[in-house]
Amino acid sequence: MDKIIDENRQGEVLMMDSDIAEASSKKVYIESYGCQMNFSDSEIVASILSGVGYETTRNIEEANAIFLNTCSIRDKAEKTVRQRISTLRKHKSRNGELVIGVLGCMAERMKHQLLEEEKLVDIVVGPDAYRDLPNLLSEAEDGRKAVNVLLSKEETYGDITPVRLDSNGVSAFISIMRGCDNMCTFCVVPFTRGRERSRNPESILDEARMLLNKGYKEVTLLGQNVDSYLWHGGGLKKEFSKLSEEEKKQSVNFAQLLGMVAEVSPKLRVRFSTSHPKDMTDDVLKVMASYDNICKYIHLPFQSGNSEVLERMNRGYSREWYLDRIRAINQIIPECGISADVIAGFCGETDAQHNDTLSLMEEVRFSFAYMFKYSERPKTLAQRRFEDDIPESVKQKRLAEIIELQMKHSKFRSEQFLHKTCEVLVEGNSKKDDSFLSGRNSQNTTVVFPKEHYKPGEYVQVFIEKCTATTLIGKAVKQD
């Protein structure tokens, strides 16, 4: 019988000394899919398991447990994971004691199919239940299926020091909040990750200081909607207007947090993702402009350029509001890099509404964008309220037009750096040529240049000589 974890066990870690000793020789292999939050969560999972003796490995053949940290944002993402699980079952056939588990958003949404109907995995764990993994592993090792997908109103994992997986030793993620309250009609996140709750700012600052002391030069503050970060001494987010006077005095919003992290050290670069247009305030922009070490880059999804479509999406802003935020960014932070998400073929989208998306892109000319066809997700508001009535061929055509236009704009934005000098934080070797180094400038554009004597973790001034749509190519110049 499947193991359903009782709510009273949420957050407990119960292992006897003998269990820890047995686990000490075991190894866990973790694969991450989807957004940056999933990759950050995998580092939390690695930390929790290391506490009970599991060592992470990148050699899947030596793993005693394999976990896939999954994404449910699109049907394609789930199909990719399903195919991967089928491949992993071959490892299971060679090693009957191998434990295979699914973590994250797909785990929460498809727990019954994965465990009961198709019997593909041994463990299913939702994003708020990672502390229970030692117990669940114990159950699975005894031959029983285990699942815990309970959502929490308080869990932030703020007291856990992540194990930095596949780290370049230069850049790291810091999760500042979890969940989402926005209820966009196309999105499964509120159902798979629960309500918004913000992490104690002191724990965030402690993690930033620790990373700095370990030699990291850049941190990215993560959340489904970082702009709505609000700490008031409690976990679950409240609107500022609903706070008591005492809570208001003690509260910390995102603009304040951003400044606090920037002040950890002028040598520590700070990025953040993702922003929601309805919550992107001028206060945040002014803080960004005030600190040289806060990168001049904002990811600001717009999803559609048509206000009627945005209303059906329940995005909470109009085309005009979005463009006002773009104007504010350009005014307060000149030369700021801006990227976006965009969906082609949402329910009921007409040709004219699609053209509004293209015209908004022409007006903004984003540095780059994440572009997708609409993929209906089970249990979302869009599935319940609207018909997915745009033919696949039309979705594909519209997406192709969006991609073609974005490539033109990306090239335009890259060309703005030609014959200029950028400060680049070196992250490692270029993927295409080991004699070149690769890093990013403040605007989050990739820069490559000859290696010479430079090393990862160094800030290098690079004169840009040529470019592609996605990469700047130059040479290091001597610094004054």
Q: Residue 191: pLDDT above 80?
A: yes
Q: What is the mean pLDDT of residues 331-335?
A: 96
Can you give the pLDDT at residue 6?
33
The confidence band for 412, taking pLDDT boundaries of 50, 70 and 90, is: very high
Q: Residue 11: pLDDT above 70?
A: no
Domain limits, the chain: 3-148, 167-295, 301-314+328-415, 421-476
CB atoms within 10 A of CB 473: 19
Q: Residue 110: pLDDT above 90?
A: no
Per-residue model confidence as pLDDT tens digits over 202-234: 999 999 999 999 999 999 999 999 999 999 875
Q: List the structure tokens of 140.
A: 């699975």
| Furthest CA-CA distance within the chain | 69
Higher-confidence position of 419 and 243: 419
The confidence band for 380, taking pLDDT boundaries of 50, 70 and 90, is: very high
Per-residue model confidence as pLDDT tens digits over 338-377: 999 999 999 999 999 999 999 999 999 999 999 999 999 8
Does domain 3-148 fall under CATH 3.40.50.2300? My reply is: yes
What fold characterizes domain 301-314+328-415? Answer: Transcription Regulator spoIIAA (3.30.750)
Q: Residue 61: pLDDT above 80?
A: yes
H or E segment and range at residue 80: helix 75-94
Sheet of 218-222: strands edge to edge? 171-175, 218-222, 269-273
Higher-confidence position of 441 and 190: 441
**How far apart are the C-alpha atoms of 388 and 348, rounded to whole Å?**
8
Can you give the pLDDT at residue 442?
98
Average pLDDT along the chain: 89
**How far apart are the C-alpha atoms of 214 and 206, rounded to whole Å?**
12
Q: Residue 480: pLDDT above 80?
A: no
Most confident stretch, 60-69, 107-116, 325-334:
325-334
Q: Residue 237: pLDDT above 50?
A: yes
* CATH architecture of the domain formed by 421-476: Beta Barrel (2.40)
Q: List phi, psi (to 5°) of 441.
A: -85, -175
Q: Residue 2: pLDDT above 70?
A: no
Q: What is the mean pLDDT of residues 121-134?
A: 93
Can you give the pLDDT at residue 234?
54
Can you give the pLDDT at residue 90?
76
Kindly write down the DSSP assignment for every residue of 115-170, as one continuous string: IIIS---SEEE-TT-GGGHHHHHHHHHTT--EEE----SS---TT-----TT--SS
Can you give the pLDDT at residue 114?
76
Q: What is the mean pLDDT of residues 444-450?
A: 98
Q: List the structure tokens of 304.
A: 């559609």
Q: Residue 235: pLDDT above 60?
A: no
Q: Which CATH number is 167-295 given?
A: 3.30.750.210
Q: List the structure tokens of 70.
A: 């999954």
Q: Find all residues with CB under 8 Å of 155, minimum gap 6, and list them.
A: 11, 128, 131, 178, 197, 235
Q: Residue 148: which of 253, 4, 252 has the closest Cα? A: 4
Q: List phi, psi (to 5°) of 147.
A: -145, 140
Can you give the pLDDT at residue 112?
76
Taking each continuous run of H as one helix and of E as one strand, the counts in the chain are 16, 22
**Are 471 and 415 contacting, i.e. CB atoms less than 8 angstroms apart?**
no
Q: Residue 88: pLDDT above 90?
A: no
Share of the chain above pLDDT 90, in %: 71
The confidence band for 247, taking pLDDT boundaries of 50, 70 and 90, is: low
Can you give the pLDDT at residue 18?
39
Q: Residue 302: which of 351, 348, 338, 255 has the closest Cα? A: 338
Q: Do the domains 167-295 and 301-314+328-415 sit in the same CATH topology, yes or no?
A: yes
CA atoms within 13 A on the CB side of 226: 25
The confidence band for 308, taking pLDDT boundaries of 50, 70 and 90, is: very high
